[in-house]
């Protein structure tokens, strides 16, 4: 790997991120929170300063056209780790420890939504706006953003674009990767603006509408209200957020074809999308029945909360319209099932992804048929196309490593905390970038009371989960760490 290429690319990203981090100052000025301006100026100076140093060390005007796949993966990983560090700087001014500040920042930028905050009344509005903005930036992807706006990444962007979201397929909606990035951000911004307008129409305060709109489309879950969406007691807003969370968990490329290119069958032809809809409808119906018959809730409330929570968990948004930590075990079990699904490929949602669940089902079906017909050639097909062998191996490897990491992290945290619920549910919530779990780390709880080792493990889980494990897995191979200075 060429160290100059890596350092220079990282420098460009840090400079851009340093400029973006000035945005909350606008909120501080509007809300007359003048004491809150300094944290973001300091963070911006740090980001831009480190970025300029990286540019200087890497060589001004470096050519990125020959970026290798391994270099792209390392650039992406470092970008998420370092931008989270810069994004944590403002939190340090509000009496958060360095670890807690970094935890909150990583949780934001990876769109996990697990918070260490205990008292929301201690922080100004620009603080909450920054939390929401970090999730919105991370929802579509830090690298996708800079591929879209920086001409230096016009060629090399392909390597970094797919390293950031190494899903089962490399789907493009335009021939040029920069145009694809811009198209994805176009639909992302459009849906965000529409949702904010609808939430304001539903009589949600404008600041809350903006923050919740940003985090909904990011499938993030950070809300400025300490009781999440439940705190607004606004059924209309709850249904609006449910709808946009559903869109956030759907493939943005398919939505672009549906909305912009006017191809109405693009969504319906997708087997992944059809399975996504089936899972949401089926499990929402089951949960609605459990809430109606065993929790003495009205049918209207049961229907609303069941759809909201199923969509919130499957898209890994992590919002809550009710304190599901108080629900009976059967209802919680339904939510636990959804934690292991995730959103669609190419969405803002995290987790295993629906397409991998679809593949596993078809793969197992093929293996059963192969036992009965050992000489038959039975390819695994998705959307009428045969899944290549290398993609099959990648998906199986992903699932195996996901299970190994889940078990290892869960056991380790269980031993540290002496609580299996925190160990395994917390691990599922952080690797899947879901956010809240049950009990102490439930929707009305906090991760702030956990021990330092547990927070570090969960930080690693959030980053690895957001990168979909593949870059992390590749980095375990010794051949990855071969550097050269380059020119």
pLDDT digits over 114-155, tens only? Answer: 999 988 888 999 999 999 999 999 887 766 665 655 555 554
Interval 258-276 mean pLDDT: 85
Interval 89-94 mean pLDDT: 94
User: pLDDT tier at 175 (50, 70, 90 boundaries)?
Assistant: very low
Average pLDDT of the chain is 86
Task: Inform me whether the pLDDT recorded for 471 exceeds 60.
Answer: yes
pLDDT of residue 304: 95
User: pLDDT tier at 384 (50, 70, 90 boundaries)?
Assistant: confident
77-87 in b/e form (b: 16+ CB < 10 A) is bbbbebbbbbb
Q: What is the pTM of this model?
A: 0.90
What whole-number percentage of the chain has pLDDT above 90? 50
Task: Inform me whether the pLDDT recorded for 64 exceeds 70.
Answer: no
Sequence-ordered list of residues with C-beta below 8 angstroms from that of 433, at least 6 positions apart, any chain = 110, 111, 112, 113, 219, 316, 349, 350, 351, 462, 465, 466
CA-CA distance, 392 to 352, in Å (whole number)? 14
Q: pLDDT per residue over 40-63, tens digit each? A: 999 999 999 999 998 887 666 655
User: pLDDT tier at 263 (50, 70, 90 boundaries)?
Assistant: confident
Task: Inform me whether the pLDDT recorded for 274 exceeds 70.
Answer: yes
What whole-number percentage of the chain has pLDDT above 70? 89
User: pLDDT tier at 450 (50, 70, 90 boundaries)?
Assistant: very high
pLDDT of residue 27: 94
pLDDT of residue 452: 95
Interval 280-291 mean pLDDT: 95
CA-CA distance, 395 to 389, in Å (whole number)? 10
pLDDT of residue 90: 96
Locate 350 and state its tokens: 């995290």
Q: pLDDT per residue over 210-261, tens digit each? A: 999 999 999 988 999 999 999 999 999 999 999 999 999 998 888 888 888 8
Locate 369 and state its tokens: 């048929």
pLDDT of residue 430: 92
Q: Is 381 helix (H, G, I), strand (E, B) or coil?
A: strand
């Amino acid at each position: 790997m060429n160290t100059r290429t890596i350092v220079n690319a990282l420098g460009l990203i840090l400079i851009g991120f340093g400029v973006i981090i000035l945005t909350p100052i606008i909120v501080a000025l509007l809300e007359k929170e003048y004491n809150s301006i300094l944290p973001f100026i300091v963070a911006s100076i740090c980001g831009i300063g480190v970025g300029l140093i990286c540019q200087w060390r890497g060589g001004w005007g470096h050519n990125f056209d020959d970026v290798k796949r391994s270099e792209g993966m390392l650039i992406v990983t470092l970008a998420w780790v370092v931008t989270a560090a810069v994004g944590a700087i403002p939190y340090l001014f509000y009496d958060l420890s360095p670890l807690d500040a970094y935890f909150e920042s990583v949780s934001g930028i990876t769109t996990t939504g697990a918070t260490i905050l205990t008292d929301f009344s201690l922080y100004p509005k620009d603080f909450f706006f920054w939390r929401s903005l970090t999730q919105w930036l991370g929802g579509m992807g830090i690298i996708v953003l800079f591929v879209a706006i920086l001409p230096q990444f016009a060629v090399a962007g392909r390597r970094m674009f797919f390293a950031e979201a190494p899903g089962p397929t490399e789907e493009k909606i335009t021939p040029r990767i920069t145009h694809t990035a811009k198209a994805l951000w176009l639909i992302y911004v459009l849906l965000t603006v529409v949702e904010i307008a609808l939430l304001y129409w539903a009589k949600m305060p404008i600041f809350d509408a903006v923050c919740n709109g940003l985090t909904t489309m990011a499938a993030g879950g950070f809300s400025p209200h300490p009781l999440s969406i439940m705190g607004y007691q606004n059924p209309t807003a709850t249904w609006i957020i449910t709808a946009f969370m559903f869109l956030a968990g759907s493939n943005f490329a398919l939505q672009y074809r549906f909305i912009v290119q006017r191809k109405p069958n693009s969504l319906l032809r997708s087997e992944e999308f059809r399975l996504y809809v089936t899972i949401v409808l089926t499990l929402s119906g089951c949960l609605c029945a459990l809430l109606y018959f065993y929790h003495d809730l009205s049918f209207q409330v049961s229907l609303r909360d069941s759809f909201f929570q199923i969509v919130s968990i499957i898209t890994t948004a992590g919002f809550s319209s009710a304190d599901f930590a108080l629900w009976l075990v059967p209802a919680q079990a339904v939510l636990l099932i959804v934690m292991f699904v995730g959103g669609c490929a190419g969405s803002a949602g995290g987790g295993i992804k629906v397409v991998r669940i679809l593949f596993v089902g078809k793969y197992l079906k093929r293996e059963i048929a192969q036992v009965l017909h050992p000489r038959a050639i039975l390819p695994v097909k998705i959307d009428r196309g045969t899944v290549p062998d290398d993609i099959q191996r990648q998906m199986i490897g992903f699932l195996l490593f996901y299970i190994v990491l889940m078990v290892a992290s869960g056991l380790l945290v269980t031993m540290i905390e002496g609580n299996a619920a925190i160990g395994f549910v917390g691990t599922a919530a952080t690797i899947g970038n879901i956010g809240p779990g049950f009990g102490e780390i439930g929707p009305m709880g906090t991760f702030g009371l956990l021990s330092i080792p547990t927070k570090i493990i969960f930080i690693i889980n959030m980053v690895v989960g957001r990168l979909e494990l593949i870059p992390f897995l590749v980095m375990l191979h010794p051949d990855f760490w071969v550097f050269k200075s380059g020119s």
